[in-house]
């Protein structure tokens, strides 16, 4: 397999499937998701060897659970692709339809999500939507259980729920489990059809569109869809027609504001409530969602165990990863799954073999505890891996994690960004350290794009954070979280602590 020329690679912001690597600060990056959900240990060993041969030897597992290999040249990316083929690893193509990392093997899951995921993927393909949707459009099919997909954002989410002894699927759009808009709770066929209908509407809006761009009226029509459109006729209905004809004030689900206008300016019928409520508004389940469980640790699968091991800040050199996969193979692991939350799940191990692998992983520098402070820090590759980087993000992060570990209770997020682009954490963080021409800037309660309140030399940023940690240690009231204490100290004081320590 040969990949295309340099220009074909350079589309920033695109998801780099294996055949379309992305240009980054440290050469090309390829991202791959095995179709089968997991990799044989021997395949992961082979991938690590390829990464060492052709890339800069840095491998990553992303927050969404994709594997990335960095630092490739165009020729080398082609060779890598050929080797992935030779290893027999079939990689996912088309619109990503993602299931949880324990899909189909977790006795606690409500339903195996894989059949519905397969059907939804095939229906999206059959509807000709793959080429019409942008590369970041995705669908999540979540069967529930010990490791949910709650923290993973998607355009369409299908989540298994139990209702009066039956399994139904809660359909929501645009966000993670906390922020998505709930449309409807229906059976598997209807869930698949609503997913396809929603993606048709997105495709109509162009390749930059997502379900978050759909209008309230479109959402209302999707929510009432199954009442008016038998699944068998769905593929024949254009999104525009469907949008108009299936909207009905009589829908038990679709609700819009009384003043909302429908297309063409006519006022809609009087309906009481906006549909723009979170998936977790509790309409079907009546409960709030707990914080998703970390994939790091031991999971009982009834017939066996899964051991979750994290990559510090989502990345690891290929050599220690290769060693870990080799040991897993020796200990009897049959499959290694990629898990959202920057982790690998090792299947097929006994409890004692899991303990051995965990000890080796820890010695090799992997994350083996869900409360490891490194899981609370977002850090991009920075220098030297990324040409845009101004500070050595990972080295700073390692120092802070080991020297200021007590700063990191569950309330606090620290983001260390090589430049203002903020690749590792686009949102706000309690503390952000960002590299620019003045050194390592500190942003309090903002993003990497904000103007820093204070600076230190890049090599010395960790000491500034140690100063903040020491102040929190002294000032904290009993029971007060680190984040609450930071708020009480105030941004000016925090910036001063960072600067002068
Ligand atoms: S944020 Fe980090 S990874 Fe992204 S461009 Fe800047 S230095 Fe590179």
**Residue predicted with more confidence, 232 or 30:** 30
Pairwise CA distance, residues 501 & 494, whole Å: 11
Residue the block writes with tokens 């690893």? 89
Which pLDDT value is given to residue 78? 87
Q: How far is the CA of 425 from the centre of ligand 1 (A)?
A: 10
Bridge partners of residue 168, in order along the sequence? 161
For 242, the enclosing helix (H) or strand (E) is: helix 239-245
Read off the pLDDT of each residue in 338-364 and give the average, rounded to a whole number.
96
* Burial 133-158, CB ≥16 within 10 A → b, else e: bbbebbbbbbbbbbbbbbbbbbbbbb
- Closest C-alpha to ligand 1, atom 6: 419
Pocket test for ligand 1, best of 389, 393, 394 (most atoms within 8 A of CB): 389
Asked if 338 and 61 count as a contact pair (C-beta separation under 8 A), the reply is yes
Alpha-carbon distance of 364 to 45, in angstroms, equals 16
Residue 17: predicted pLDDT: 52
The radius of gyration of the chain from alpha carbons, rounded to an integer in Å, stands at 24
Chain position carrying tokens 């290694």: 336
Q: Is pLDDT above 50 for 166?
A: yes
For the cut 60, the answer to whether the pLDDT of residue 203 exceeds it is: yes
Instruction: Determine the distance separating the centroid of ligand 1 and the alpha carbon of 160, expressed in angstroms.
Output: 37
Q: Are strands 139-142 and 97-99 parallel, antiparallel or unpaired?
A: parallel
Q: How far apart are the CA of 314 and the centre of ligand 1, in A? A: 14
434 C-alpha to ligand 1 centroid (Å): 10
Nearest atom of ligand 1 to the alpha carbon of 383: 7
Using one digit for the tens of pLDDT, what is the confidence trace for 238-270? Answer: 333 333 333 333 333 333 223 332 233 333 333
Which H or E run contains 403?
helix 393-403
Q: What is the pLDDT of residues 213-224, one digit of tens each?
A: 999 999 999 998
Choose the residue to mutate in 382, 397, 416, 435 for probing ligand 1, maximizing ligand atoms within 8 Å of C-beta.
382
Gap from CA of 382 to ligand 1 centroid (Å): 6
pLDDT of residue 56: 86
Among the listed ranges 54-63, 142-151, 302-311, 403-412, which one has the minimum average pLDDT value?
403-412
Query: Which atom of ligand 1 lies closest to the CA of 448?
Result: 1
CATH of domain 102-281: 3.30.413
DSSP-based three-state secondary structure for 40:
coil
- Ligand 1, residues 381, 434, 436: which to mutate, most atoms within 8 A of Cβ? 381
Which residues of the chain are in CATH 3.90.480.10 domains?
A: 22-94+295-370
Which CATH number, 3.20.20.150, 2.30.40.10, 3.30.413.10, 3.40.50.2300, labels domain 374-500?
A: 3.30.413.10
**The CATH homologous superfamily of the domain defined by 22-94+295-370:** Sulfite Reductase Hemoprotein;Domain 2 (3.90.480.10)
DSSP codes, 47-106: HHHHHHHHS-SEEEE-TTS-EEEEEE-HHHHHHHHHHHHHTT-PBP-SS-EEE-TTTTT-
pLDDT at 175: 95
pLDDT at 459: 93
Find the mean pLDDT for residues 139-159: 96
Degrees, nearest 5: CA angle 140-146-147: 40
Report how far ligand 1's centroid is from the alpha carbon of 44 (Å): 27
Between residues 64 and 362, which one has the greater pLDDT?
362
Q: Say if CB 297 and CB 362 are below 8 A apart.
A: no
Q: Looking at residue 276, what is its pLDDT?
A: 34
pLDDT at 388: 87
Residue 269 CB neighbour total at 10 angstroms: 13
Q: What percent of the chain has pLDDT over 70?
A: 83
Closest CA to 484 of 431, 400, 377, 411: 411
* pLDDT band for position 70 (cuts 50, 70, 90): confident
Cα–Cα distance measured from residue 435 to residue 450, given in angstroms and rounded to the nearest whole number? 12
Does residue 282 contact residue 340 with C-beta atoms inside 8 Å?
no
H or E stretch including 184? strand 181-186
* pLDDT over 90, % of the chain: 64
Pocket test for ligand 1, best of 419, 422, 432, 437 (most atoms within 8 A of CB): 419
How many secondary structure helices (H) and strands (E) does the chain include?
Answer: 14, 20
Distance 252 CA to ligand 1 centre (A): 47
Q: Identify the pLDDT of residue 122.
A: 96
**Quick check: 18 pLDDT over 80?**
no
Give the 3-state secondary structure of residue 374: helix
Q: CATH 3.30.413.10 in the chain, residues?
A: 374-500
**Per-residue pLDDT tens for 316-335?**
999 999 999 999 999 999 99
**Which mutation among 22, 380, 395 tests ligand 1's pocket best, with the greatest number of atoms within 8 A of CB?**
380
As for ligand 1, residues whose beta carbon falls within 6 Å of it are 25, 380-382, 386, 388-389, 417-419, 421-423
Q: How far is the CA of 81 from the centre of ligand 1 (A)?
A: 25
Q: Which residue's CA is the nearest one to ligand 1's atom 5?
A: 388
Average per-residue pLDDT for the chain: 84
pLDDT of residue 279: 38
State residue 410's pLDDT score: 76
CB contact set of 179 (below 8 Å; sequence gap of 6+): 153, 278, 279
Index of the ligand 1 atom closest to the CA of residue 386: 8
pLDDT of residue 3: 36
Higher pLDDT, 238 or 196: 196
pLDDT at residue 81 tops 70: yes
Rounded distance, CA 144 to CA 128, Å?
29
Query: Cα(393) to centroid of ligand 1, in Å?
Result: 9
Position 271 scores a pLDDT of: 30
pLDDT score at 386: 82
Cα–Cα distance, 439 to 22 (Å, whole number): 28
Sheet holding 315-317, edge to edge: 22-24, 27-32, 67-72, 58-61, 315-317
Q: What is the pLDDT of residue 250?
A: 30
Determine the pLDDT at residue 292: 80
């Amino acid at each position: 397999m040969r990949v295309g020329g340099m220009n074909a690679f350079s589309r920033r912001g695109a998801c780099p499937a294996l055949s379309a690597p992305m240009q980054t600060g440290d050469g090309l990056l390829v991202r791959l998701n095995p179709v089968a959900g997991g990799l044989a240990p021997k395949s992961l060993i082979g991938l690590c060897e390829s990464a060492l041969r052709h890339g800069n030897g840095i491998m990553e597992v992303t927050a969404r659970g994709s594997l990335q290999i960095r630092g490739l040249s165009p020729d080398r990316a082609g060779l890598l692709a050929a080797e992935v083929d030779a290893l027999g690893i079939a990689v996912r193509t088309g619109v990503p339809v993602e299931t949880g990392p324990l899909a189909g093997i977790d006795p606690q899951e409500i339903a195996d999500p894989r059949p519905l995921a397969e059907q939804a993927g095939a229906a999206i393909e059959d509807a000709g939507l793959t080429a019409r949707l942008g590369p970041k459009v995705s669908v999540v099919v979540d069967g529930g259980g010990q490791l949910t997909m709650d923290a993973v954002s998607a355009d369409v989410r299908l989540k298994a729920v139990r209702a009066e002894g039956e399994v139904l699927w809660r359909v929501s759009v645009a966000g993670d489990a906390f922020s998505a808009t709930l449309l409807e709770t229906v059976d598997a066929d209807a869930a698949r059809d609503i997913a396809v209908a929603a993606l048709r509407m997105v495709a109509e809006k162009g390749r930059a569109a997502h379900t978050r761009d759909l209008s309230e009226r479109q959402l209302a029509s999707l929510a009432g869809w199954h009442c008016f459109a038998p699944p068998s006729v769905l593929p024949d209905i254009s999104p525009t027609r469907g949008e108009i004809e299936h909207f009905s004030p009589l829908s038990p689900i679709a609700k819009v504001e009384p003043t909302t206008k429908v297309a063409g300016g006519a006022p809609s019928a009087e309906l009481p409530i906006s549909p723009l409520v979170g998936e977790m508004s509790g309409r079907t389940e009546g409960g709030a969602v707990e914080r998703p469980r970390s994939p790091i640790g031991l999971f009982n699968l009834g017939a066996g165990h899964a051991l979750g091991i994290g990559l510090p800040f989502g990345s690891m050199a290929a050599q220690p990863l290769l060693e870990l996969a080799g040991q897993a193979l020796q200990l009897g692991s049959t499959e290694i799954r990629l898990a959202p939350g920057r982790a690998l799940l090792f299947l097929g191990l006994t409890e004692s073999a899991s303990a051995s692998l965990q000890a080796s992983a820890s010695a090799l520098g992997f994350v083996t505890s869900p409360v490891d402070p490194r899981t609370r820090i977002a850090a991009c590759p920075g220098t030297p891996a990324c040409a845009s980087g101004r500070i050595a993000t990972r080295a700073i992060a390692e120092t802070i994690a080991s020297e200021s570990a007590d700063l990191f209770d569950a309330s606090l997020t620290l983001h260390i960004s090589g430049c203002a682009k903020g690749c590792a954490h686009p949102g706000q963080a309690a503390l952000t350290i960002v590299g620019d021409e003045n050194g390592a800037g500190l942003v309090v309660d903002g993003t990497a794009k904000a103007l820093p309140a204070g600076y230190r030399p890049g090599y010395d940023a960790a000491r500034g954070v140690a100063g903040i940690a020491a102040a929190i240690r002294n000032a904290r009231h009993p029971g007060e979280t680190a984040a609450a204490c930071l708020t009480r100290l105030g941004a000016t004081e925090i910036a001063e602590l960072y600067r002068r320590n």
